[in-house]
Structure 1
Amino acid sequence: MATARLSINLDAIAANWRALNRMSAPDCQTGAVVKADAYGTGAGRVAQALAKAGARRFFVATADEAAAVREALGHGPQINVFAGHMAGDAELIHALDLTPMLNSIEQIMRHAETLPGHAFGIQLDTGMNRLGLEMTEWQAVAPMVLELRPELIMSHLACADEPDHPMNDAQLAAFHAMTDGCGVPRSLAATGGILLGERFHFDLTRPGIGLHGGRPYDLGFPALRLSLPVVQVREVQAGEAVGYAASWRAEGPSYVATVAAGYADGLPRTLSGQATLWAGDIPCPLIGRVSMDLITVDVTHLDHVPEELDILGPQQTVDDLADVAGTIGYEILTSLGPRYRKEYLEDGA
């Protein structure tokens, strides 16, 4: 088969959620961020595994993203929408019973007018300058908004993956100043914030990348294996070139495997001549350019060329590959292409 196989270990994802739940403060609820199709791994199946592990509140980026999660979970678990109540979303918010995290005065008015009495939360800006009401805006509308009984007030840390960054304490102080005494459950910490300690946990934490064993949760179980099919193996003579721009030439007789995946599948072109694939425990260098659908790998040193080579797995995590590509694990993970055949592993371990 010429389709690459993306194996997603649901038990590892569930185990990571349980561990991050234990790290959260004792009286703190632990939610789960499954935006961007659960970071590219399939929001429906991942949400079901997390619900089985104990998660009861889920977060998505937009109202449209929530459909797969609600279909998988049915009614009951809460689904919060980071983008809030966008124009035209009222019908979907109502039909799917979503909780929009309102982030502006405009959204507050839209929600109050189109869905009076429907659940909502509030986002505050504590220094990231991305989403949320600023201090003066919040002070102006807080008395009115609190009378409407929001279910959650949240903000987001800009530098939580750097524990010693001064922004962390600055944002914590701002969040306290804006919300102390409000009587509403509060949330500030995603994965990085959980690792900063209980001062940042408040009433709800929102792990996302940590569910997949990604940084900054270095103790997490890696949840992915990406196995790429070998389409062809050819012998290349000394001096012959491989791939676009003839960027690699054989120094001696070599065997080159052409493998079915490329930048259309989320493998950045910056991996060209830099990345490593694996035949079990044996590293095999990626040679030449990453093209749209194919990459080429030096397999001269193998006694036997397997049907598949791994580019993600026990020997190389999403973050390891991101380091080679000059990016971050989030980007690698969420870029994994739709052509991969997803295989879910779940044995109750």
Structure 2
Amino acid sequence: MTAETPETLAGGRLTIDRDALADNWRDLAARAEGAATAAVVKGDGYGIGLEPAVRALAGAGCDTFFVAVPEEGLRLRATLPEATIYILDGLFEGAAATYAQANLRPVLSSLPEIEEWTAHRRQNPAAHAALHIDTGMHRMGLGLGEAEALLAGPGLADTLGLTLVMSHLACADTPDHPLNQRQRDAFRAVRARLPDVPASLANSAGIFLGPDYRFDLVRPGIALYGGAAVNDAVNPMRPVATLEARILQVRDAAPGETVGYGATEALDRPSRLAILAVGYADGYPRHASSSDQRPGALAFLRGRAAPLVGRVSMDLITIDVTEISDARRGDWVELFGPNIPVDEVAERAGTIGYELLTSLGRRYHRRYRP
């Protein structure tokens, strides 16, 4: 499905609020006062579409973007010729010339990358990069010992063409986690060795940790798209994506009857059930299913919440509309959006809003507003 496909032919529709995306960026930029605010648009703009996302963000004032892989960087460059673009997955072997030609800045995280980029810079001294220091997450980045050895030599920033030194917080969504301060302090020590290079530590949640974590540039991701950045806190961001499913059928079922594959949930009252035209083939999580042992996710129709009943199938979901007497074939039911937060659905499914957004399938009718 594409945005041009009539919604009359789609089982689900995805509405993207570009004004909300822009407002979220402005909100985060205001919270990060004193630091520049970039935007992380990897994962196809967290599932909403890379190109429309970056256009809306650029319109709000954003000029620096982070993606994961060079293919995303090339798409972004074609859309925003003047943007600053960093590739979080670093320098792919043998691809330095492609990066330089498209003015993509690799985030260098390992000694082999640094060696290859150094060799490339001898031929192309105008190429720029970022340096990633692992301050405690033990994922991407140079270890502190490796960084110390590199920094002991002269002119590292000039050798690599550094325009950014960065690290990534592992536990910023839990503000009182002790690793936050340890990472901040370790990063501050490294940054002191590169005083003329802009520094970046804060992701979405890191912005909310306060000014000590913001340095020169913040890199919000999930919060831009309306997701909750901080655990157990009120989410101040506007929802950006609304997912809806079409009702295919409304039917009655008696107490004691079971619903869906595996007969995992038995009805305890006379019930009206609505069958929706979305399933796990569309990226809606199977683990959001309901059973006799645990409740599943909620949907929303005509001002009321409606619980899922039974298992999520490949193409279908069943919800209980007993309390919504006027539910009918053809109605659109919200699966997440302004009334059912994406993080609430994700929690019921045992996952996170990031995964739910970036797993959205190709069969939806997509509409972008305004």
- TM-score, normalising length from structure 2? 0.89
Q: Could you tell me which of 10, 14, 19 is aligned with 2:18?
A: 10
Equivalent residues of 1:63, 1:89 under 8 A apart = no
Aligned to 1:168: 180
Aligned to 1:65: 72
Aligned to 2:109: 103
SS at match of 1:169: helix
Matched ranges for 1:137-216 at <5 A: 137-142=146-151, 143-148=154-159, 149-182=161-194, 183-216=196-229
Number of aligned residue pairs: give it: 344
Larger mean CA deviation between 297-306 and 308-317 belongs to: 297-306
Q: Write the distance in 2 (CA, Å) between the matches of 1:101 and 1:195.
A: 24
Shift, 1:144, TM fit? 4.5
Shift, 1:168, TM fit? 1.0
Aligned to 2:359: 335
Shift, 1:8, TM fit? 1.0
Q: Write the distance in 1 (CA, Å) between the matches of 2:299 and 2:76.
A: 33
Aligned to 2:276: 259
Matched ranges for 1:314-329 at <5 A: 314-329=338-353
Aligned to 1:288: 310
Q: Write the distance in 2 (CA, Å) between the matches of 1:264 and 1:3.
A: 12
Shift, 1:194, TM fit? 0.8
Shift, 1:89, TM fit? 2.4
Equivalent residues of 1:229, 1:259 under 8 A apart = yes
Shift, 1:278, TM fit? 0.9
Q: Could you tell me which of 22, 30, 53 is aligned with 1:22?
A: 30
Q: Write the distance in 2 (CA, Å) between the matches of 1:311 and 1:201.
A: 35
* Aligned residue identity for 1:280: R
Matched ranges for 1:114-153 at <5 A: 114-115=120-121, 116-117=124-125, 118-142=127-151, 143-148=154-159, 149-153=161-165
Aligned to 1:77: 83
Q: Write the distance in 1 (CA, Å) between the matches of 2:314 and 2:98.
A: 36
Aligned to 2:92: 86
Shift, 1:255, TM fit? 2.4
1:205-246 deviation digits (Å, cap 9, x = unpaired): 001111012112611111121110112222334443321112
Q: Write the distance in 1 (CA, Å) between the matches of 2:174 and 2:318.
A: 37
* Aligned residue identity for 2:249: Q
SS at match of 1:70: helix
Equivalent residues of 2:297, 2:345 under 8 A apart = yes
Shift, 1:3, TM fit? 2.6
Larger mean CA deviation between 213-222 and 188-197 belongs to: 213-222
SS at match of 1:310: strand
SS at match of 1:64: helix
* Aligned residue identity for 2:14: L
Q: Write the distance in 2 (CA, Å) between the matches of 1:342 and 1:283.
A: 24
Q: Write the distance in 2 (CA, Å) between the matches of 1:17 and 1:89.
A: 32
SS at match of 1:151: strand
Shift, 1:163, TM fit? 1.1
| Identity across the alignment (%) | 42
Measured on the aligned residues, the alpha-carbon RMSD in Å equals: 1.6
Query: What stretches of structure 1 of length at least 5 have no aligned partner?
Result: none
Equivalent residues of 2:162, 2:197 under 8 A apart = yes
* Aligned residue identity for 1:62: V
Equivalent residues of 2:288, 2:346 under 8 A apart = no
Aligned to 1:46: 53
